[in-house]
Amino acid sequence: MAPASALVTPERSEVDPAYTWDLSAIFPSWEAWDTALAELEQRIAAFASLAGTLGSSGARLREALEANDAIGQLSYRVWYYPSLTHDQDQRDNASAARRQRVQLLFAKLEQATSWFNPELLRVPLADIHAWMAADPALAVYRFAVEDLFRKQAHVLDQAGEHLLSLASRLTGAPKDVYEALSTADAQFPAVTLGTGASVDCTYGNYRRVLATSRVAADRRAVFNAHYDVFGARRNTFASIYNGVLHRDWFQARARGYATTLEAALFGNAIPAEVVTTLIAEGRAGVAPFQRYHRLRKRVLGLDSYGPADTYVPLVEHDVQYRYDDVREWIVASTARLGADYQARVREAFDRRWIDVYENKGKRSGAYSAPVYGAHPYMLLNYNDTLDAVFTLAHEMGHSMHTLLAHGSQPFVYAGYTIFVAEVPSTLNEELLLEFMLERAATTGERTMLLQHAIDGIVGTFYNQVVFADYELEAHRLVERDEPVTADGLSALYARTVDAYWGDAIERDERTAWTWARIPHFFQAPYYVYQYATCMASTAALMDAVGSADPGRRDDGVRRYLELLRAGGSDHPMALLKRAGVDLAEPTAIRALVARLDRLVGELESALG
């Protein structure tokens, strides 16, 4: 029996096996895993013996590349078997020990393969091209090899690379200091709510109260107390961020880049126009965003509407969504992608690729694991909520991307970048949303679905564009040799949100401190824009896939499935262009803005 509505978390042994994943596609037993681990260790040791041979002939180069791929393929299965076993019950010390054995072996792998790229880069590219022309099996690696040589444009000589490597431990210091100050050493105060309950204003409780409390005073009290922790330390956070900005500018100049943005985008061959166009179009497309928040203010009956009021649902909606129902909806919602795609989705449900429900010791959250040589596996903690429904659709999108890429590409191109990774996951969500809207039985359910869709665009596109806009301008401060202070950063953030919020959301002093509580600014600069570009890409693809014109729809489906099958066989911009999306142009972003405008209009009609 599925523990869909259980109030007591069951032990793993108490969960119906039909709702657990079957890992036998990776290995049938731990004995088989032990054998594969020993084989992997032997292959790693043997790989070192190929050092010094790459430049001797095309055959020797192909031998090394194929040996490297064989190690990689086996590594997936050897790693994921204990890793997934551990995640299903993290109290299992035996699986934890096996994971550690693999991690230690991976450290040996890194050492055993460290010679490969430097040696390959010493072989003249013209010689490699000649070998590829004579050897189709070697020519498979053309894109991978040429991209390695492309990246050499910003690699220093041996002395320069050694000098930068000596600074590597220092460059990670801001991230570690921020993590300690914002989490480990943070003391979040308690607030007494109107009910008399006391709430510690931690990250989790902050988000929970803002997303569930119908009492505006309680939301604002928690918001203020949470933000005051960052405001009180904003000078220290500014010093840390100053270190991040100057580190990025130092590394960019050391490698010959003109800007920090160029340095951040070069690895995936993404032009700077992608980010600048995103920001310009985001600023120009704020009308439906602001209209939505004005609607929220009216429906919630608030005289004052600030950031603490932007998450709470507009209507009460207590419907539970049974997993066995939802799985059928997800299969049905993917019909427009073709019978083969639908059959693969059905197989994932029927063949136990999914670990569905929470049990004691199970890892929290959700993910799709790309187990090369087997098939994707999905971990969920399904709890019958609307969020759980769309999380399932999201992870299924990742899994279908993995399945199609692994089935279509050689191992070297089976993976894919974050720049395209969130496209199939969000498109799957969009397909399910359309399906559920068509069958929504009540105004309340339709309102909740529309708000879910709108909040997805607001959170994944508009909020991320605000962040991308801000961090680009913050980096430009150091590029212009301007000072970086807490007051300056706060003023910059205030100007940035004003450009997007207008008068639809009221900003106070605390809002200007938001930069201090966004981990990506400190830990992964120039990362957040990719959330927004993936959302925009999905909107453009949905326009084609959902077109009323049969010819355009069929072409859109074909292009989209080709994108999934392409894996990492080209740079992400090139792959998206072939699918009909050019993110250096404003078309995709405008499609998303238009979609938000339509959804807000539908929500206005639903609410009356």
Distances (CA, A) of 117 to 43, 68, 139, 264, 532: 18, 12, 17, 21, 33
- Within a 10 A sphere around the Cβ of 574, how many other Cβ atoms? 13
Is 178:519 a contact under the CB 8 Å cutoff? yes
What pLDDT, in 10s, does the model give residues 74-130? 999 999 999 999 999 999 999 999 999 999 999 899 888 989 999 999 999 999 999
Taking residues 15-37, what's their average pLDDT? 98
d(CA 596, CA 591): 9
Distances (CA, A) of 257 to 49, 248, 355, 468: 37, 11, 45, 19
The pLDDT, as a whole number, for residue 466 is: 98
d(CA 400, CA 561): 10
Between these two residues, 155 and 571, which has the higher pLDDT value? 571
CA neighbours within 13 Å on the CB side: how many for 425? Answer: 23
Distances (CA, A) of 547 to 101, 119, 290, 448, 577: 51, 50, 28, 25, 19
In the predicted structure, residue 317 carries a pLDDT above the cut 90: no
Is 450:602 a contact under the CB 8 Å cutoff? yes
The pLDDT, as a whole number, for residue 269 is: 95
Residues whose CB falls within 8 Å of the CB of residue 367, separated by 6 or more in sequence, listed in order:
378, 379, 395
In the predicted structure, residue 282 carries a pLDDT above the cut 60: yes
Check residue 17 and report its DSSP letter.
G
Long-range pairs, 102-110, Cβ under 8 A, ≥24? 102/37, 102/78, 105/37, 105/40, 105/41, 105/44, 105/78, 106/75, 106/79, 108/41, 108/44, 109/44, 109/71, 109/75
What pLDDT, in 10s, does the model give residues 246-269? 999 999 999 999 999 999 999 999
Query: What single-letter amino acid sits at 369?
Result: A
Distances (CA, A) of 570 to 246, 417, 592: 32, 10, 25
Q: How many Å separate Cα 203 from the centre of its chain?
A: 20
SS3 369: strand
What pLDDT, in 10s, does the model give residues 113-123? 989 999 999 99
In the predicted structure, residue 418 carries a pLDDT above the cut 50: yes
The pLDDT, as a whole number, for residue 3 is: 47
What pLDDT, in 10s, does the model give residues 527-556? 999 999 999 999 999 999 999 999 999 999
The pLDDT, as a whole number, for residue 497 is: 98
Second CATH level (architecture) for the domain 12-155: Up-down Bundle (1.20)
What pLDDT, in 10s, does the model give residues 424-475? 999 999 999 999 999 998 999 999 999 999 999 999 999 999 999 999 999 9
Is beta strand 354-355 parallel, antiparallel or unpaired with respect to 377-379?
parallel
The pLDDT, as a whole number, for residue 7 is: 57
Is 23:81 a contact under the CB 8 Å cutoff? yes
Taking residues 209-224, what's their average pLDDT? 95
Residues whose CB falls within 8 Å of the CB of residue 475, separated by 6 or more in sequence, listed in order:
245, 248, 249, 259, 260, 261, 525
Residue with the two structure tokens 């929470």: 358
Q: How confident is the model at residue 5 (pLDDT cuts 50, 70, 90)?
A: very low
- Length of the chain measured in residues: 608
d(CA 424, CA 405): 12
SS3 248: helix
Check residue 319 and report its DSSP letter.
-
Taking residues 311-316, what's their average pLDDT? 92
